[in-house]
Structures are given as C-alpha cells and as structure tokens.
Amino acid sequence: MSARETFELTEHRLTVPLVHGSEDGRTIEIFARVVTAPDGRDRPFLLFLQGGPGHESPRPIALPGTPSWLQRALQDYRVVLLDQRGTGLSTPYGAPGPDPAVDAEWLTHFRADAIVQDAELLREHLGASTWSLLGQSFGGFCSLHYLSVAPDSLREVYFTGGLPPVGRPVDDIYSATYGRMRTLTERYYDRFPGDRERFANLLELSAAGELRTPTGEPISQRLLRTIGHQLGMDGGAEQLHYLLERDPASSAFTHDLAAAFSFGARDPIYAVLHESSYTDGGRTRWSAERVEPADFLGDSLLFTGEHLFSWHFDDIAELRPYRAVASILAEHDWPRLFDANVLSSVDVPCAAAIYVDDPFVDREFSEETADLIPSLKRWVTDEHLHNGLRTSGGAVLDRLIGLSPA
C-alpha cells in the first residue's frame, strides 16, 4: 500500500456460548474487525491473535508513511482483528462480583481453548472454509491449540515470539524464564553500568518506605524489580535506562515508574489468568513464585520479567479486589491445550520467528515444539526480542510469509 492509501473496516458481533458444548444458556458477545485493502476484497482471511491473555486486538490506524506488520499483511490478506473474549468490545470482565468462586468459574472459560472455539464460529460467520493465523506471544499459544484441535480449518499459521512448549510442566517453563532474565539483567548493567548503583539506591528508598506511587501507595522492593520485564522488548533496555536516570524525587519519575509495572487493573484477565496460559494441563499454584531462585530475592539487583506472584494482589492496590479469584484459579486443574500426536502429523504450512533472548517464551522449548511439527519452518534470530513483530515494521511478517507459502 502506498502512503496515500487507506483501508476499509467492517465490524462483526457474534453471540457465542460462554461454555462451548454446554446447554446452560449462558452467552457472551465477541467483536471483530475485518481490515481490507482497497484492492484486496477477494484476498484470503488472516486472523490475528494478539498477546495477553486479556489484551484487546490492536486498533487499526492509517498513518501515511509509517510501515507496520498490518500494512504488510494487507498485501496478501484481509486481516481479522478479534477482541478475544473478555476484552475490548467483546463482553468484558470488569470488577469482581461478591462471590470469588463464581468469578473464578466464569474465567475458567476464557483460556486459549475457548478463544479458538470462538474463532471457529467467527470463521464460519465470515463464510471462510479455511483461514490463516498470525499468533503473537499468547496469540501463538492460541494458534498452537487451534492447530491441535482444528487443523483442517487452517490454511497456514505464523508464530511470532509465541511457539509454546508442549507437555512441559509449568515449573520448568518459569525456571527457564528466570535464567533468561538473569542473562538480560547482567547484559543491561554491562551496557549501562551506572544503573547498577541507581537501582541499588532505589531499592534502599523502597526499603525505607520512601518510594511511592502517585496515589501514595508504597512500592516494595519485589514490585520494583518487576520493571525488568521491559528488557524482553526491543527498545526496552533504553526505556528502562531513561527511567532510572531520572531523579527519584521528581513527579515524572514517580508516574513513569508506576506505569512500568506490567500488571494492573486495566486488563484484569492479564493478571488473573496469566499463569494458566503457560499451563499445558494441571494446577499452577503460583508457579513463578515457587520456583523463584534465591538470588532474585531480598534486595537483589536482578530484575524479574513477566512473572506473576501472589503478592501482586497485595502490592498493587488496583489488583487487591481480584486476590480471592486469582487464588482459586491457582488451584484449578486446567485441561491440556496441545496434542503432540496431532501436531506431529499435521501438514498445514507453518513458520515461526523464535527470538534467541526472549525471556517470556524460551527459545529451547520453542525449538522442541518446532521439531515436533513437520510442516513448520523456523527462523531463529537475535535481531529482535519479544515484540519484534511490532517494532520491525513489516520485516518479521514478510520473512515468515516467505518461509511458508500456502
């Protein structure tokens, strides 16, 4: 598309069962936008499954001269942007009700398996016999489940920073993420040596109760270390450095520090269901907290990443109302998401961008999954981190399309 061209948008709303396969009568609504280039009305559909869980689909904005993965995708596809259940203009999950058990039961139906069943109804609604998938991060987890349960519905599948482990215990997954964060932390301090002392000073201020959010809430040392999740993103190290170089007494620092925490109440599903997304069957029982290495504790200078802890629901005021719900879900026995037997026999063309230093989806585990799928071609790269799809313009998607022609 040239800088002067725009795109066409059509909106779709579907009423779907809360529990697919059940006749209990409970329903929710899902919302999707189809984005089409002016000359692309006959192109096949590409369903974009975004990161999360609990994040809405991106909103398409035409900015002349600004490349993006969406502009690249529209050269070959009509792009379907689905607000996954509970997000965006789909029926939301907001403030918890009076009974945490009721909320917890409701949310057991908001994982990748339900999202895929919603997508199947949407595909049928659009009249597509098959369509393609682009799964970013958690969207890749949804895509792999889709490939496990409905491969005949898929034309091709692209994974970006989101090829999950199959059959791995959740504790193994979180243990690997700590190892990657240790490496990224030391690399960060090598690049910005002055930030080691700056961060140590912040930890001291936190211990003294002198580090607070704009609303006056104290910021604990353990919460402070979670700003390291930025190290998993392209440009994240620079953003972290620009934060730490500021005067901690300034209001700008206080506001930007609070904004740097990865979990909050804007997208409650992201916190409440986060560990379940890593779980290919079984209970999580606060896995990230149970396997946290000793050198990450106390006044450690090591940063944590996309790790959810039970204390998040104490240390972040906006999350406190969700604590009981999250505790119930931590003990929920989740079903399996991926079928190794099916995946080892599918012939759907697949391509995956696997990022060498991704601290959220471990490279070695992703490669194990890639070995399992005979039709998958991989691109293992250190050119990008977890958000490479977004930061590369159309380059990452273009590479994947070239690897896996339908």
Residues catalogued as catalytic: 137, 333, 386
End-to-end CA gap in the chain: 22
Q: Are 61 and 68 in contact (CB under 8 A)?
A: no
From the list 206, 236, 238, the residue with the least C-alpha distance to 222 is 206
Tell me the C-alpha distance between 140 and 157, whole Å.
9
Angle separating helix axes 236-244 and 170-191, nearest 10 degrees: 60
DSSP H/E element including 11: strand 8-17
Q: What is the DSSP letter of 27?
A: E
C-alpha separations of 203 from 237, 308, 393 in Å: 19, 20, 37
Q: What is the DSSP letter of 265?
A: S
Classify strands 27-36 and 8-17 as parallel, antiparallel or unpaired: antiparallel
Listed in sequence order, the residues at least 6 apart from 334 whose beta carbon sits closer than 8 Å to its beta carbon are 108, 111, 276, 279, 281, 282, 283, 284
Beta-bridged to residue 376, according to DSSP, are 350
From the list 263, 269, 267, the residue with the least C-alpha distance to 317 is 263
Q: Are 292 and 179 in contact (CB under 8 A)?
A: no
DSSP H/E element including 173: helix 170-191
Determine the 3-state secondary structure of 317 from DSSP: helix
Q: Are 53 and 274 in contact (CB under 8 A)?
A: yes
